[in-house]
Structure 1
Amino acid sequence: MPFLADPPRTLGTLVADAAARWPGHTAVEQDGHRLGFAELHLRVERAAARLAAAGLTRTSTAVLLFDNTVDCVIAFLAVARTGARLVTAEPHATPSQLGALADDLGRLTLIGRAERLAAVRASGPWPGPVVEVGEELEAGAAGPAAPAGPAGDAPFLHQLSSGSTGAPKAAVHTQDNLVRGAEIYRESFGYGPQDTVVTAVPLLHSFGLVAALVTSLLTGARLVMLGRFAPGRLLSELARTGATVLVAAPLAYDLLTRSGAAASETPLRLRLCLSSGAALHPDTGQRFTERFGVAISEVYGCTEAGIIASHRAAPGSAPAAGSGGVGRPAPGVEVRLVDDAGRDVAAGSEGVLLVRTPAMFLGYHDRPEATAAVLREGWYVTGDLARLDEDGLLHLIGRKDSFINVGGKKVNPVEVERVLLGHPLLTEAVVWGEALPDGGQRVRATVVSAGPVSAAELGRHCREHLQPHQVPGQVEFVGSLPKSSSGKTRRAEVAAAAARGTAGTIDQGGARS
């Protein structure tokens, strides 16, 4: 791919190039407030100059309480322009969570909207500089010039992993990583200045940041940020803006198809719908295609490596229900499947998935052992079990470290979850292994139902499709599953929450106790 040979670039050069090519074209928009590329460039330069005057340098670290707002986008790009290191944090992060970041990363400049900063200050003074986004950050045309541009291959973004399987770690990316990730989206999906991209996912996470913000800056696309999510609000923005691209999580697509607002007669211009963060249920994809006339393209990737593979849906096509494939490797991405000894497996066989991408992270901040465990000779060890079929389609089997040991037999929780979700009254399911006193495990499930269903009925359903050792021995019914802001289920929290919940037991006869 030609972009692989390009020298390292920065987000600042991306904004400057866009301002030169499309000066009057809308760059970012929220609630009808538009900012053109030339004005965006000017405001980023002013904000960067003020941050530098306030002491933010290439040896500094800032934390941004990243809302999906124009002001926060400017602050993000301004920090990048200074060359400082940046942590993107949840806008509602608590003082204790921010304090833990400071313990890990050192003295932090805190940046955010006024109301977010007020909530932090309410618990006591912040031990470092505090900068409010908006007019205060960008005020005054006069003053010092923005600092010289940083190196594109220097450590920049400290992006917290989702924590879906345990405590989050800070994956360190360069600015060039983000630009190359955007180029992969451009090559894969044909973004251009003719596109209007609506994002219904947080920009602070990898999917929203690269697929929506950075790719729009690279290609001249107009980026519309939804802000507060509601199905009716999203639908009205898609119609009002004439959106051609939607970046959203599976939950948003599901809620759109279930919402009464989705019956609106307003025609949509969508040509591309991207979904990531969790597996898209085939029924959701089918219903969305039937209602809106466009298929959903799934994206498989991770914080550490960016986009890995995608299933590019053909215009007007229906999703391949039950195929299990996550798509073909993205442009510039290499994949390997290896056994436990690190040897390549035979074609068509299952193995641990290793990837090498142009958007690869540098490692985990101050975690040399964790970094060494996942980076091997330039390859990132995803921890996912997968296989490649004869057509080059990548199929995920499950996570190697999540398999459940039942009497020496390995149970793939993903397989059990698929069976559970085949029941018409279940909308969500997480399967996990409960440790037993003898050192073994038993299969447990935590589910969300759309109507009355008993553990006995679920037991009968599972026994029709699974072997006896795969059937959950206990099931817990909950109103919702804990999720990150990107829509990914926090599996590590499910087991702990289940210990405090009321569970229904599936015994051999299928009765609930």
Structure 2
Amino acid sequence: MATASDIGARHRPAHTLGELLDDAARSRPHAVAVRHDAAVLTYAALRAKVHATARRFGALGLQERGATGLLLENTPDSVVAFLAAARLGLRVVPLEPGTTHTQLASLRAALGSLAVVGDVPRLTALRDSEEHGPLDCVFVPVNGTAETAESVESVESGRPKRSAGSSDVTEALGRDPDADAPFLYQYTSGSTGEPKAAVHPQRNLVNGGEIYARAYGITEGDRILAAVPLLHSFGMVAGLVTALRAGAQLVLLGRFTPARLLRTLEQHACTVLVAAPMAYDLATRAAGAAPSHAPHALRLCLSSGAALPATVAERARERLGLDIQQVYGCTETGVIAGRRPEDGAGPDCGVGRPMPGVEVRVVDERGQAMPAGAEGALLVRTPAMFTEYLGHPEATRRALADGWYRTGDLARLAPEGHLHLIGRKESFINVGGKKVNPVEVEQVLLAHPSVAEAVVWGEAAGDADERVRATVVARSPLPAKDLTSHCRARLLPHQVPAAIDFVTALPKSAMGKVSRAKVAAASAAPPPNHS
């Protein structure tokens, strides 16, 4: 029987991840919260494991560390560790599971005192790599007891450990952390410069989950399959936090294969799929050629991390019987805009409409608002706006203007409210004083039937001038002169690539985003010496 305090708690808005979990555990204790293959945690079990892990982390002194790096994998153990860190109010840095000794050493230098939480085999590999230099980090297993941690932990000499039953740890679990205190140090991709940690409080993540739930009608009856890494903003918020907010079931895919994705969707009757364009591309190629083969319960497909190719969207419509809803956002602001099922398909929708609670402005170089339909710089203000770049006050000042975030994107806002991205201003190529938008050139290249992927960038051509360079993945043999002729028939002379390289694959992030910088660096590198 629900008590008066339980009923009052349900009507109190949640501002931290712990409050979201408490609400779901009270109202749906026996409902499945997290599923990964045969492993299942109900909301009551998830809450119990989170509290036990938070006590263990507290007993090991993680609260006294400057930051906690979490080797965040798509597993129930990682979900528990992440929520336990939130329950304690730690400052968390989500890390790729395969983070190297060198990367960890750089992070330790930037952040100071650091604890690293992860699976024992990964921690052991990092500890063994200390022959390349001491990391001076505390290593803590993602699960187990304080005694288990002892075997892989590098602890400062002479520093005593507290017992798991110490009063200060118990007291810490008796109160929720400040919803507006720094919690998440989420590093940017570095696509526009040095990667920087965008600082978010827990309130931002909760607000992000609220936005997704409202925009897409996600409820406790949904089963959300996260086929993207939880360590990235899209997977973390659209997947994990939204599931908590709605009291829905989070299904974790683990290692991605197209067959496994399709099988999991059907086996667990998933209703929502959160995935990157690359996953949709591979999965729809592997799917049957008719909607009758589509997963029967699937009602919503969300895509983010990179632009969704039109060919992939069309194939999904044919083979899954659904339109993929493209979502646009960034590490600093969370979700900004997204397509909704009621918008229908087609390029007229751009990247969709601004999300609930999100404000957008398109301005000229003087910061003056542009009329509807005109192109300009995109500024946004969201309920999930970051507070600062950690240790970079000048970069923070440049990025934020009177509470508005300068995205660096050029855009136009259509009269009906849809947002259209034009490109990034800093990626434009200066050819003899004329500006070339690489996205426009890429679209022309991709229109060739033999081109599977393409990326365009500017190559230095003396003084301040540049020339257009392209790298292409071809589906079938394609002479460069034929592709150049294709471009000349559709582009202005200064837009046509001066050189085209052909490769078998483009360097991509885990979200399927192509790195222009890595492509350009690879093309500039001298060929290997085979002598």
2:376 paired with 1:348:
no
Partner of 1:499: 524
Query: Are residue 51 (structure 1) and residue 57 (structure 2) matched?
Result: yes
Is the CA contact 2:123–2:141 (under 8 Å) kept in the aligned structure 1?
A: yes
Corresponding residue number in structure 1 for 2:124:
118
Cα distance in 2 for partners of 1:212, 1:73 equals 11
Counterparts of 1:476 and 1:261, CA distance in 2? 34
Native 8 Å contact 2:66 2:111 kept in 1 = no
Extract unaligned runs of 5+ from structure 1: 1-5, 503-513
Counterpart amino acid of residue 110 in structure 2: D
Match of 1:151 among 178, 191, 209: 178
Identical-residue share of aligned pairs (%): 55
- 1:387 pairs with 2:412: yes
The answer as to whether partners of 1:295 and 1:314 remain within 8 angstroms in 2 is no
**How do 1:100-119 and structure 2 match up within 5 A?**
100-119=106-125
Instruction: Check 1:410–1:77 CA distance in 2 against 1; reply closer, same or farther (3 A cut).
Output: same
Q: Per the alignment, in what secondary structure is the counterpart of residue 326 of structure 1? A: coil
C-alpha contact (below 8 Å) 2:59/2:146 kept by paired residues: no
Superposition deviation, residue 163 in structure 1: 2.3
Q: Partner letter of residue 389 of structure 2?
A: Y
What does residue 132 of structure 1 align with? 141
| Equivalent of 2:237 in 210, 224, 228 | 210
Match 1:412 to one of 437, 443, 453: 437
The offset of 1:233, in angstroms, is: 0.6
In the alignment, which residue of structure 1 is the partner of 2:282? Answer: 255
AA aligned to 1:135 is G
Instruction: Give 2:328's match in structure 1, choosing from 285, 297, 300.
Output: 300
Partners in 1 of 2:492 and 2:95 — Cα distance? 43
Match of 1:378 among 400, 403, 417: 403
Matches within 5 A, 1:107-506: 107-124=113-130, 126-136=135-145, 143-144=165-166, 145=170, 147=173, 148-259=175-286, 265=293, 267-314=295-342, 319-320=345-346, 322-323=347-348, 325-500=350-525
Of residues 11, 15, 30, the one that matches 1:9 is 15
- 1:115 Cα deviation (Å)? 1.5
* AA at the equivalent of 1:61: A
Is 1:74 the counterpart of 2:80? The answer is: yes
Aligned to 1:391, what secondary structure does the other structure show? Answer: coil
Residue 58 to residue 323, structure 1, CA distance change in 2 (3 Å): farther
Deviation at 1:230? 0.3
Give CA deviations for 1:459-499 in whole Å, capped at 9, x if unaligned: 01111111010000011111111111122112221110111
Aligned mates of 1:223, 1:501 — CA distance in 2 = 47
Distance 1:372 1:469, change over 3 A: same
- How far residue 169 of structure 1 moved from its aligned partner, in angstroms, is 1.1
How many angstroms does 1:7 deviate by? Answer: 7.1
User: Is the 1:432–1:444 contact (alpha carbons within 8 Å) kept by the matching residues of 2?
Assistant: yes
Alpha-carbon separation, structure 1, partners of 2:262 and 2:298: 11
User: Does the residue aligned with 2:62 lie in a helix, a strand or coil?
Assistant: coil
For the residues of structure 2 that align with 1:178 and 1:440, how far apart are their CA atoms?
Answer: 43
Whether the aligned pair in 2 keeps the contact of 1:166 and 1:492 (CA below 8 Å) is: no
TM-score by length of 1: 0.93
* Equivalent residues of 2:182, 2:201 under 8 A apart: yes
**CA 1:439/1:36 → structure 2, altered by over 3 Å: closer, same or farther?**
same
Secondary structure of 2:63's counterpart equals coil
Deviations 1:297-354 (A, max 9, x none): 0000000000000011349x5x31x447111100000001111111112222111000
On the 8 A contact 1:476/1:501 being kept in 2, the answer is no
Residue in 1 aligned with 2:37? 31
Residues 501, 230 of structure 1: alpha-carbon distance in 2 compared, 3 angstrom cutoff: farther
What corresponds to 2:151 in structure 1?
A: none
CA distance in 1, matches of 2:514, 2:332: 18
Q: Which residue of 2 aligns with 1:93?
A: 99
**Aligned to 1:458, what secondary structure does the other structure show?**
helix
Q: With the length of structure 2 as denominator, give the TM-score of the two structures.
A: 0.90
What letter corresponds to residue 428 of structure 1 in structure 2? E
Cα distance in 1 between the residues matched to 2:300 and 2:193: 33
Give the gaps of 5 or more residues in structure 2: 1-11, 149-162
Instruction: Indicate if the aligned counterparts of 2:375 and 2:410 stay in contact, CA closer than 8 A.
Output: yes
After TM superposition, give the deviation of residue 56 of structure 1 in Å: 1.7
Amino acid at match of 1:290: E
User: Secondary structure, in 3 states, of the residue corresponding to 2:250?
Assistant: strand
Q: Is 1:41 the equivalent of 2:47? A: yes
Report if the CA contact (8 A) 2:58-2:164 is conserved. Answer: no
Separation (CA, whole Å) in 1 of partners of 2:181 and 2:514 = 32
CA contact (8 A) 1:246 1:270 kept: yes
* C-alpha RMSD of the superposition: 2.1
d(CA) in 2 for partners of 1:378 and 1:333? Answer: 12
Deviates more, 1:53-62 or 1:396-405: 53-62
Look up the equivalent residue of 2:316 and give its one-letter code.
Answer: F
Q: CA deviation at 1:59?
A: 6.0
Helix, strand or coil for the counterpart of 1:283?
A: helix
Q: Please give the alpha-carbon distance, in whole angstroms, between the structure 1 residues aligned to 2:73 and 2:141.
A: 13
Deviation at 1:158, TM superposition (A): 0.2
